[in-house]
Structure 1
Amino acid sequence: MSRSGSYVSKIAVIVCLFGLSACGGGGGLFGGGATRDVSVENLGPEQIYQKAEFELEGGDPEEAVRFFNEVERLYPYSEWAKRALIMSAFAYHADQKYEESRAAAQRYLDFYPADEDAAYAQYLLALSYYDQIDQVGRDQGLTFQALQALRAVIERYPDSEYANSSILKFDLAFDHLAGKEMEIGRYYLKRGHYTAAINRFRVVVEEFQTTTHTAEALHRLTESYLSLGLTDEAQTAAAILGYNYQSSEFYQDSFNLLKGRGLAPDARGTGWLRDVYRQMIRGQWL
C-alpha cells in the first residue's frame, strides 16, 4: 500500500496467509495449542488484537471476528478499537457474512469518515454487495446497490488504491445487469412473446449501450420485429447493428434474416430506433 502508517496495509499479507495454517511450533503468546483458553478480560487491547490476527491468519475468520469485537467492547475509544472495527469488516467478508461485513464497514464510515482507511471501508461495503451478484437470480436489487456503493468509492476516493478496482467491478456489474435483461428477453422471444422481448432488448440498447450485449440486443430486435411483421423497425435495428458492429456474427445473422424476406438494413420509420439511429449519426450514441 502506498500510504505509510495505514493498518490496512496488513490486509494483503493476511489475504496471502488466509487458509494456511498458522506458524508451527509452540512458542509465542498464542502457540502451544492453547489459543482459545486465554481470558480476554485479562489482556490489553493490543494482545486481544494480536489474538484476532492470529485466528485470521490461521484460517478462522469467525473466531477472529469474536476477538476483534472484544477489542471494541473492552476498549471502545482506543486506536486499537478503530483498527479492530475495520478488520472485523474484513473478517466478516472473508467468512462470507456479507450483511455483517457491510454493517461493520458502515459503522467505520459513520465513526471515522475522514480516516485514511475510510476508502477501504467503502470498498468493503461495495464488495459486500458485489460478491453476491451471481447468487441473487433475477432479483437485481443487490446489483444496483453494488453499483451505487462502487460509484461512491470512485467519486469520493478517486485517488485511492481502490478506485481502479471499483471502476472495473462497476463495469462488470453494469454488464451483468444488461446480461440479465438479455436473459429475460431471450426467454420471451423463444416463447413467442415478442412485445415483451422487445421491451427487454430496448432497455439494453437505450440504457446499456456500452456493454457487451448491445450487438445481440439489436439482432434480437431485428428478429422480434420481423416476427411481428414490423419491417421498418427490423430494418432500422439491423442498420444500427451494421453501423456499429458490421464485423460481428450478429450483424451477419440479421442481414441474412432480412435478405430472406427480400429486405436490407435501412433506417426507416419514425419510431424509437430511428431516434437512436439519428443520435448515432450525430455521434451522440455509444
Structure 2
Amino acid sequence: MNFYARLSAAALAAALAAALAGCASKSGNNMENWSPGRIHSEAKEEMSAGSYDKAIPMLETLEGRAAGTPLAQQAQLEKAYAQFKNGDKAEAVGTLDRFIRLHPASPALDYALYMKGVIHFNDDMGLFASIARQDLSERDQKAAKEAYESFSELVTRFPDSRYAPDARARMRYTVNALAQYEVHVARYYYRRAAYVAAINRAQQALKDYRDAPALEEALHILADSYDKLGMTDLRDDARRVLELNYPGGSVKTKSKPWWQIW
C-alpha cells in the first residue's frame, strides 16, 4: 500500500472513530462529566429530531443530577412528554402521577394534569383529525373516563389556567363520547329484544350525561322499549319528555356523531 493509500485509510479510520465516539457520547453512558445544562440541551436536541427514545434516558439522568431544583421538575415533565410521543403511554402517566404526588405546589401542576388528560384522551380515542372516520363509542370507555377526571380536576383547581379552555372543550367531547357509548349499548339490547336491559342503559345515559346530543336517541329507545313491553304509561311519559326537550325531532336511531362538540 502506497503512502497516499495508507493516508486515506488512516483518515477513514479516524473519521469512523470520531463518528462512533459522537454516537456514544449521546448514548446515556458518557454523561458523567456533562453539566445539567448540557444534558438538557442534548435531550431537547434529540426530542426536536424525534428521537424520543434517546432523550428519555438523558432526562432521567437530568432528574437525578438536578434533584431539588426547578430544572429537575422540568426534566420530569419533558420525560413524560417524550414517553408519550415514544408510544409509552403507561410510563408517561406513571411519570405524571409521580410528579403530581411529589410536587403538589408546583406552578406546573396544571400542565401535569392537562398532559395526563391528553394522554388518556388520545388513548384509543383518536385525534380530532381522524375522529370523523371512527365510531369510537363502540370501544371501552375507561380511557375516556380517566381523561375526563384529569381535565375536571384541572378546571376545578385551576380555572384560570392557560390549559383550562382546551380542557373544557375536551371534557364536552368526552362527555358526548360517554353518553353515546351508553346509547350504543342500549341500542344493541333493543335490537335484540332485550328491552329491560335497553331501558336500564338509556336511563343511565339520561341520568349521568345531561345535554349531550345522544340523549335524544336515548329517549327514543326508552319510549320504544316501554312500548314493546306494553308499559303504556311510562311510554307516554318518555314521549312527553322527548317532545318537550326535542320538539319536532326526527331522530329514531342514531343521533349526531358522538364526536361532535356541541
**What TM-score results when the alignment is normalised by the length of structure 2?**
0.77
Work out which of the residue numbers 85, 95, 98 in structure 2 matches 1:107. Answer: 98
CA separation in 2, counterparts of 1:214 and 1:79?
47
Question: Which whole-Å CA distance do the structure 1 matches of 2:108 and 2:245 have between them?
Answer: 43
Q: CA deviation at 1:164?
A: 0.9
> In structure 2, what is the Cα distance between the partners aligned to 1:222 and 1:196?
13
Partner in structure 1 of residue 184 of structure 2: 183
**Which amino acid in structure 2 is aligned with residue 214 of structure 1?**
L
TM-superposed deviation, 1:119: 0.9
> Offset of 1:33 from its aligned partner?
9.0
TM-superposition CA deviations, 1:126-173 (whole Å, max 9, x none) = 223222153896543333222221111011111111111111111111
Query: 1:186 Cα deviation (Å)?
Result: 0.9
SS of 2:125 mapped into structure 1: helix
| CA displacement, residues 252-275 of structure 1 (integer Å, 9 cap, x when unaligned) | x9xxxxxxxxxxxxxxxxxxxxxx
Query: Secondary structure in 2 aligned to 1:249?
Result: coil
Q: Residue 228 and residue 34 in structure 1: after superposition, are their counterparts in 2 closer, same or farther (change >3 A)?
A: farther
Confirm or deny: 8 A CA contact 2:125 2:144 kept in the other structure: no
Contact 1:99 1:128 in 2 (8 A): no
Hey, what's the Cα distance between the residues in 2 that align with 1:62 and 1:247?
Answer: 56
Deviation at 1:35, TM superposition (A): 5.2
Which digits, 9 at most, give the CA deviation of each residue in 1:182-226, with x for residues without a partner? 111111111111111111111112221211111111111121111
Counterpart AA for 2:38 = Q
1:36 aligned partner: 23
Matched, 1:130 2:117: no
- Let me know the Cα RMSD of the aligned residues: 2.2
Structure 1: gaps spanning 5 or more residues: 1-31, 254-286
From 107, 114, 120, the counterpart of 1:116: 107
In structure 1, what is the Cα distance between the partners aligned to 2:32 and 2:81? Answer: 24
Give secondary structure in 1 for the equivalent of 2:251.
helix
Larger RCO of the pair (alpha carbons < 8 Å, separation 6+): 2
- In structure 2, the CA distance between the partners of 1:35 and 1:157, relative to structure 1 (3 Å rule), is farther
SS of the residue 1:115 aligns to: coil
Aligned partners of 1:59 and 1:164: how far apart in 2? 28
Tell me, in whole angstroms, the C-alpha distance in 1 between the residues paired with 2:48 and 2:235: 59
Q: Aligned partners of 1:243 and 1:231: how far apart in 2?
A: 18
Separation in structure 1 between the aligned mates of residue 227 and residue 101 of structure 2, nearest angstrom: 55
How many residues get paired? Answer: 221
**Separation in 1, partners of 2:114, 2:21:** 35
State how far apart, in whole Å, the 1-side matches of 2:20 and 2:197 are: 63
Aligned to 2:56: 65
Q: Do residues 146 (structure 1) and 147 (structure 2) align?
A: yes
In 2, Cα distance between equivalents of 1:84 and 1:128 = 18
Pick closer, same or farther for the CA change 1:244–1:79 going to 2, 3 Å: closer
| Counterpart amino acid of residue 130 in structure 1 | F
The match for 1:85 is 76
Alpha-carbon distance in 2 for matches of 1:210, 1:34: 61
Change (3 A) 1:68 1:191: same
Determine helix, strand or coil for the equivalent of 2:32.
helix
Given that 1:102 and 1:128 are in contact with CA atoms closer than 8 Å, whether structure 2 keeps it comes out as yes
Task: Percent identity, please.
Answer: 27
Match of 2:250 in 1: 249
Match of 1:53 among 34, 44, 50: 44
Deviation of 1:49 after TM superposition, in Å, equals: 0.7
Conserved? CA contact 1:101–1:124, under 8 Å:
no
**Residue type of the alignment partner of 1:88:** K
Check 1:33–1:212 CA distance in 2 against 1; reply closer, same or farther (3 A cut). Answer: farther
